[in-house]
């Protein structure tokens, strides 16, 4: 909820100044960032949202988690639908690592390292998630940790608590940036961006690859299908949701 | 030169507003971005610089270059030296690909694809550079292309010319962003950032890895060594520099 308010505040401010940044301190888990930048993009502005997490990712060559999974989301207005990128800088999420542990499934190579910093495919020996994209991904993850921490004044690295373990109040930060292209004299960006994205979608693909996609297209198709056909929920989760619903109705 | 002026303008503006973005249109090749963000960081501000290039990088699953090598540079004040990240979103630079062609050296896997979009290690068959970091790196490279193009109003994708082939005037854009942490109520970020970076440097490393580094440290060591010991220049380059020097002295 705080994230949506921050998005609204950034959009309003950018309308007058062209560029606005809102910092959120000590907020709880933001959830998926895609929704915030989509909200900004639907106002005709470009949105960038950054946040951090507890230290789960090791530095390049490192054996210990020192960096959050630090996702970045970028939304750009386009027709018929905005461009929405929402990606973490960890190779996988902590949720995925835990799921592999529960099911005794091997990890892909490059996803995690053991207590000595050696790459491991054993989910039970994994001690830290690897950054995506090797040393460059590490540099980016570290830079995003610094941007969020230094600007919002919130905790850095192993001092971040409460994003997974909610017994502690969460002390991480979030940055919500909104940019109004019109303020920079740019009025035809919607058409130019849409044309360019169409050219990328139509560009020649490797045979058998299924074609070139644009970030956000797949998630949008899955969401549309879920809105039309419903979603599958595990029985235990459904029972828990019913129980919470009844408890809140009784309160 | 335009880049340095843009950096100065952004720093001055951020001092009063907390946050400033300067767009540069139709500029020539910026050169290394590290110098611009270092300039901003030495003023106590956080710098982010983005630029694009001619389309050299293929989309994920794609066979044709549709995206620039789109580097991102991020500078954050720290003691004793600022944090400086300067990385392209292509797996390698065009210069490196050309050097491998000239020397008939094989490419590493993941660096490039051939005309059908299949990964290739043959520098002569390589038609497009791969994004670093797989599909996530592709998403980031595309998002940066959109940010620069949509905000500065400059060309996108295959419409960008003149960054390599200087027979055309260059029509790409650059973004220079400067953020003054003090404007966001943050006054102790220098100490916090420096302490965190030291903790990352000292964190346990994989045996035999040479330890955990921070982006910019290696480049700084090489620069300091070069300032102390001089640099090696190929004879032909040195002759050309002398010729240019004499020609400009005569003009």
Below-70 pLDDT ranges, chain A: 1-4, 26-31, 165-169, 184-187, 250-251
Question: Rounded to whole angstroms, how far apart are CA atoms A110 and A119?
Answer: 7
How large is the average pLDDT for residues B155-171? 77
- Is the pLDDT reported for residue B147 higher than 90? yes
Question: Rounded to whole angstroms, how far apart are CA atoms B172 and B153?
Answer: 9
A113 in contact with B, Cβ within 8 Å: yes
Q: CA of B80 to nearest chain A CA: how many angstroms apart? A: 16
Q: Do A76 and B146 touch (CB under 8 A)?
A: yes
Higher pLDDT, A216 or B6: A216
Angle at A152 between CA A74 and CA A149, to 5 degrees: 85
pLDDT tens digit string along A134-158?
999 999 999 999 999 988 888 898 8
> pLDDT class for B1, splitting at 50, 70, 90?
low
How confident is the model at residue B128, as a pLDDT?
97
Residue corresponding to tokens 């907020």 = A27
Burial bucket for residue B103 (CB in 10 Å: 0-12, 13-18, 19+):
exposed
How large is the average pLDDT for residues B197-209? 96
pLDDT tens digit string along B43-96?
999 999 999 989 999 999 999 999 999 999 999 999 999 999 999 999 999 999
Name the pairing type of β-strands A128-129 and B83-87: unpaired
Question: Rounded to whole angstroms, how far apart are CA atoms A170 and A3?
Answer: 14
DSSP annotation of B2: H
B-chain residues near A65 (CB < 8 A): none
Q: Which two tokens stand for residue A3?
A: 């994230």
Is A51 within 8 Å of A30 (Cβ atoms)?
A: yes
Higher pLDDT, B241 or B57: B57
β-bridge mates for residue B72, sequence order: B50, B87
Which site among B150, B204, B214 would you substitute to test the A interface, given the most A Cβ atoms closer than 10 Å to its Cβ?
Answer: B150
Q: Which two tokens stand for residue B143?
A: 């998002």
A199 in contact with B, Cβ within 8 Å: yes
**ipTM over the 0.95 cut-off:** no
Higher pLDDT, B168 or B42: B42
Q: CA of A189 to nearest chain B CA: how many angstroms apart? A: 5
CA B140 to chain centre: 14
How large is the average pLDDT for residues B141-146? 97
Which site among A144, A204, A210, A211 would you substitute to test the B interface, given the most B Cβ atoms closer than 10 Å to its Cβ?
Answer: A204
**Residue of chain A minimizing CA distance to B110:** A133
How large is the average pLDDT for residues B224-242? 78
Nearest one of A48, A29, A69 to A157, comparing CA atoms: A69
Least confident of B62-71, B120-129, B161-170, B222-231: B161-170
Q: Which helix (H) or strand (E) element contains residue A36? A: helix A34-41
Alpha-carbon distances of A135 from B89, B175, B205, B224, rounded to whole Å: 12, 24, 14, 23
């Amino acid at each position: 909820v705080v994230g949506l308010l921050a998005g609204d505040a950034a959009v309003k401010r950018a309308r007058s100044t062209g560029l606005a940044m809102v910092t959120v301190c000590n907020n709880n888990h933001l959830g998926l960032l895609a929704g915030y930048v989509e909200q900004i993009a639907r106002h005709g502005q470009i949105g960038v949202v950054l946040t951090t997490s507890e230290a789960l990712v090791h530095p390049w060559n490192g054996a210990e988690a020192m960096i959050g999974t630090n996702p970045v989301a970028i939304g750009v207005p386009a027709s018929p639908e905005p461009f929405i990128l929402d990606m973490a800088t960890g190779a996988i999420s902590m949720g995925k690592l835990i799921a592999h542990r529960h099911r005794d499934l091997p990890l892909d190579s490059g996803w995690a390292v053991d207590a000595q910093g050696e790459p491991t495919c054993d989910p039970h020996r994994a001690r830290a998630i690897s950054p995506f994209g090797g040393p460059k991904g590490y540099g980016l993850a570290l830079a995003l940790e610094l941007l969020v921490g230094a600007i919002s004044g919130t905790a850095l690295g192993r001092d971040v608590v409460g994003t997974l373990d909610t017994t502690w109040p969460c002390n991480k930060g979030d940055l919500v940036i909104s940019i109004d292209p019109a303020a920079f004299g740019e009025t035809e960006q919607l058409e130019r961006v849409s044309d360019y994205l169409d050219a990328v979608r139509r560009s020649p693909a490797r045979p058998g690859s299924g074609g070139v996609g644009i970030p956000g297209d797949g998630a949008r198709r899955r969401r549309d299908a879920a809105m039309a056909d419903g979603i599958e929920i595990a029985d235990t989760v459904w029972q828990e949701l019913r129980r919470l619903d009844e408890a809140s109705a009784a309160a």
